[in-house]
Structure 1
Amino acid sequence: MNRMSADISYRTILRLAWPASVAASVTPLLGAVDVWALAQSSRPLDIAAVGLGSVIFSLAYWTFGFIRMSVAGLTAQAAGAEDEAETRAALIRGGVVGGAVGLILTVLQFPIGNLAFTLLGTGSEASSTTLNAGREYFDIRIWGAPFALASYAAFGWLTARGRTDFLMIASVFMTLINIILDYWFVVGLDWGASGVAAGTLIAEISGFFVAAGLVLMVMREHGGILAHWSKKDIWNPVRLKRTVAINFDIFIRTLLLAFSFAWFVQRGGAFGDVTLAANQVMLQLFLFTGLALDGTAIAAETLVGQAMGARDKTTAQRRYYVSVRKTFILASAAAIAFVIFYAVGGDAIIALLTPEGQIRTATQFFMPWVIISPLIVVTGFQLDGIFIGATRSKEMRDSMIISTLVFLPASLWLAGKFGNHGLWAAFSVYFLLRAATLAVWLPRIGRSFVAQR
């Protein structure tokens, strides 16, 4: 427990945070690469089609993002308690859930696709060509669901073990594969949205096997690959019950988050193909910003989780408060840097990602929302990391319920009154409200250390 008794330095946090930031930011970077490749092809309006198809996977994958979060929180706490058997049990439980859910999505792909595109097309001005191309994208990419969701468990586990460097390696590998295949399939072969889907499918399958190999490497460092395995530990009724409860709460939370993103994209379609495509470009930048800032949140997951699991609660409480304060300081500094970056280089980024013409003009018109987005999302992302590490899933669920109930009517009213600017304003309020509700409940975590003494 000497590691747990040491003070947490900014250097320690940065060692965890910067690889996690790289790993997190490459996820929306894939979307940005998709946009760039399509902009270079003869089918630039397929950007809107990929936007429609992607929102289904965002809804599905983000809904089951609880797999990564619960594995991360439970594994970090087990590591803090030096319970190696439970760290491995948490991984297996998460991996089984992820693979099974992905398999179910693949088997049910036809009814899911039919329902999804019926809903996306309702009240939308998107053309039939765009909707059909979006469906082709969905029909190809869905085959990667079992691999993508099983990878979530591996990513959460690597995070909790403090191996964000391995998390970065797996994520960067997937990105490089996708970039190469995007260029080949979309720019070279001119497959359009279908080429983007094929590249993503191959990258997700490859990423799963790389992540699995890295997990085995970590296990070798902690007693060996064959050590610490026990069916009794994996299927312990008490721990299973806790795992199910945490997963269900985060499932509801993440389902509402994914639904809100899907609602945002669908409402953007009401303004036509050009605005829908512009929103897709901006949304990739918005997500890139938030997930790049997520590195300090992931560091907080690990540090807070280890503190919650530690046996010496006095030392653990001190580590908890230091972790919260220092990760918030680093996250705020990064957010300010991103604001400056977008304010100075926004036009150049748009020119890189979009073809000349209506899509570029529309994106430039709405770009101020991206410029201020780092300040809007940073607090909510950081609080998410703290609550995940503490496995305070009920508060995360309730925060999302409140925020979504406000966002839906606000988006209808503001979009009706101010158009796409109003839609982005409602989206921004949604993120700010998430942060505000979690901030109200944050003191509960600190008080829990006193109750455990």
Structure 2
Amino acid sequence: MTEFPAQAAAPLTHKRILSIAVPIVLANATVPILGAVDTGVVGQMGQAAPIGAVGIGTVILASVYWLFGFLRMGTTGLVAQARGANEHGEVSALLMRAILIGFMAGIALIVLQVPILWGAFRLAPASEEVETLARSYIQIRIFSAPFAISIFGLTGWLIASERTKAVLILQLWMNGLNIILDIWFVLGLGWGVEGVALATVISEVTGAAFGLFLARSAMKHPDWKSWAKVFDPKRLVNMARVNTDIMIRSILLLSIMVSFAFFGAGFGDVTLAANHILMQFIEITAYALDGFAFTAEVIVGQALGAKSRQVLRRGAIMASLWGGGAALILAASFALFGAGIIDTMTTAEAVQAEARRYLPWMVSVPILGLAAWMLDGVFIGATRTRDMRNMSFVSLAVYIACVYSLIPIFGNHGLWASLVISYVVRAVALGWKYPALEQQAATYPVPSRFD
């Protein structure tokens, strides 16, 4: 029987850190490119409604799928710990558990699509034409939900296995195929919004199959097909606990971002548009820093499984140092080129001027938000998800308090300050729990409840 290499014993070097992080950063960079192509091809139809339909349809599905991001994060932490502990059978079983959870969640979305669509369009009303096209778009795309959500688990497994180059290849395949089919179906065959949806369905279905091929090393251990191992009650309960905590944490953070948009709308259309443009800077920051946060997940998880407190601490520090370097580069880039980026994103002079007023907040986000991103990675790797959930409650509570105390005094500056403060509070709260995380390294397997 072929065994997996013991990754926890691999030297912890800067080269290893970068070999994990850089492919993730590059993979993330393909996501906005695909979004731009989706918008561009329907924009060639010469009508506003198809653009709005694809936009609102994408937002609705992305928001729903984002709630299942726990499958990526939880799988990474659990697989990394199993690898560190040389539990090769559990590494294989975890992949099958993640895929099965993804498929069941996707099937549930297909079954529940009617109430989901009803609720979504009540929250984000659109014109009758846009809503009709958006419904058509979603009703096609929803059938690839089992595959799209399963890809979260496959990606998490590959990241935990330090196969981030495979993750990059998978993203290039999916997004590249999607772009090619977009152009063919919409511009070549004239299928419009339905063509964009079908292109995504095909890319996600084939992406899941390709991801399973890339993760085929899991099949080298017989436990991947052992129902007794895959459905082990103790393991399932632990995985459910981890995933539930992460899902609640995601909902809390999503509440902050959604409410930010709602509060911004109260300042008028110009400020709302400026805030939307500036949020793209935060998205860029998240994509860049995620590479180093994911690296922390892998190293910390493996160190915990190997019961190595020293490697855990060193891995967290090394990943954070590289993340800090990326944050400084981002902050400097935003300071030097931010105004030019704003001008390329809109030609409305009023919006340009308004966005520049708040650009200093974008310069501060990579620096002040770094610790929150990195500690998220550290705690995911350690699967101390209860702490993440609880500290997200604290962050949300402080954010709400800041919003209602700062906006009346400082207006939109107060809104941006509230968002940045929420990052800092989350970092401080997780930092307070970090010593207990290190102590946990000597007590692996992870207990079912944390004090």
TM range (shorter): 0.7 to 0.9
Residue 214 of structure 1, CA deviation: 1.1
Match of 2:333 among 331, 341, 353: 341
Match of 1:444 among 436, 441, 449: 436
The equivalent residue for 2:295 is 299
Is 2:225 the counterpart of 1:251?
A: no
Match of 2:78 among 74, 92, 98: 74
The equivalent residue for 1:286 is 282
Residue 326 of structure 1, CA deviation: 0.7
CA distance in 2, matches of 1:357, 1:147: 43
Is 2:392 the counterpart of 1:380?
A: no
The equivalent residue for 2:423 is 431
Amino acid at match of 1:304: V
Amino acid at match of 1:219: A
CA distance in 1, matches of 2:439, 2:123: 45
Residue 138 of structure 1, CA deviation: 4.2
Amino acid at match of 1:12: R
May I ask how many residue pairs the two structures share in their alignment? 441
The equivalent residue for 2:386 is 394
Q: Deviations over 1:354-406 (max 9, x none)?
A: 45666656555544433332123321111111111111011011011111223
Match of 2:118 among 114, 118, 124: 114
Q: Which moved more, 1:148-157 or 1:80-89?
A: 80-89
Is 2:86 the counterpart of 1:102?
A: no
Look up the SS of the partner of 2:86 in the other structure: coil
Is the contact between residue 7 and residue 84 of structure 2 (CA under 8 Å) also seen in structure 1?
A: no
Between the two proteins, what is the percent identity of the paired residues? 37
Is the contact between residue 93 and residue 223 of structure 2 (CA under 8 Å) also seen in structure 1?
A: no
CA distance in 1, matches of 2:174, 2:366: 25
Q: CA RMSD in A?
A: 3.4
Map residues 84-233 of structure 1 onto 2, 5 A cutoff. 84-121=88-125, 138-180=138-180, 199-216=199-216, 218-219=217-218, 223=220, 229-233=225-229
Look up the SS of the partner of 2:162 in the other structure: coil
CA distance in 2, matches of 1:361, 1:110: 42
CA distance in 1, matches of 2:342, 2:191: 23
CA distance in 1, matches of 2:141, 2:352: 27
Q: Which runs of 5+ in 1 are unaligned?
A: none
Residue 64 of structure 1, CA deviation: 1.4
Residue 101 of structure 1, CA deviation: 1.1
Residue 450 of structure 1, CA deviation: 4.1
Q: Which runs of 5+ in 2 are unaligned?
A: 446-451
The equivalent residue for 2:31 is 27
Q: Which moved more, 1:94-103 or 1:27-36?
A: 27-36
Is the contact between residue 282 and residue 370 of structure 1 (CA under 8 Å) also seen in structure 2?
A: yes
CA distance in 1, matches of 2:44, 2:264: 23
Q: 1:141 to 1:6 in 2, by over 3 A?
A: closer
Is the contact between residue 303 and residue 441 of structure 2 (CA under 8 Å) also seen in structure 1?
A: no
Q: Deviations over 1:313-332 (max 9, x none)?
A: 3xx12111110111111100
Q: 1:284 to 1:103 in 2, by over 3 A?
A: farther
The equivalent residue for 2:448 is none
Is the contact between residue 48 and residue 280 of structure 1 (CA under 8 Å) also seen in structure 2?
A: no
Residue 83 of structure 1, CA deviation: 1.6
Residue 414 of structure 1, CA deviation: 4.4
Is 2:91 the counterpart of 1:56?
A: no
CA distance in 2, matches of 1:241, 1:399: 22
Map residues 343-358 of structure 1 onto 2, 5 A cutoff. 343-354=335-346
Amino acid at match of 1:432: V
Amino acid at match of 1:119: L
Residue 185 of structure 1, CA deviation: 6.8
Q: 1:246 to 1:414 in 2, by over 3 A?
A: same
Q: Deviations over 1:240-279 (max 9, x none)?
A: 1211211221121112222332333344444566655544
CA distance in 1, matches of 2:377, 2:252: 18
The equivalent residue for 2:232 is 236
Is the contact between residue 44 and residue 355 of structure 1 (CA under 8 Å) also seen in structure 2?
A: no
CA distance in 2, matches of 1:55, 1:407: 24
Residue 411 of structure 1, CA deviation: 3.6
Match of 1:308 among 299, 304, 308: 304
Q: 1:30 to 1:106 in 2, by over 3 A?
A: same
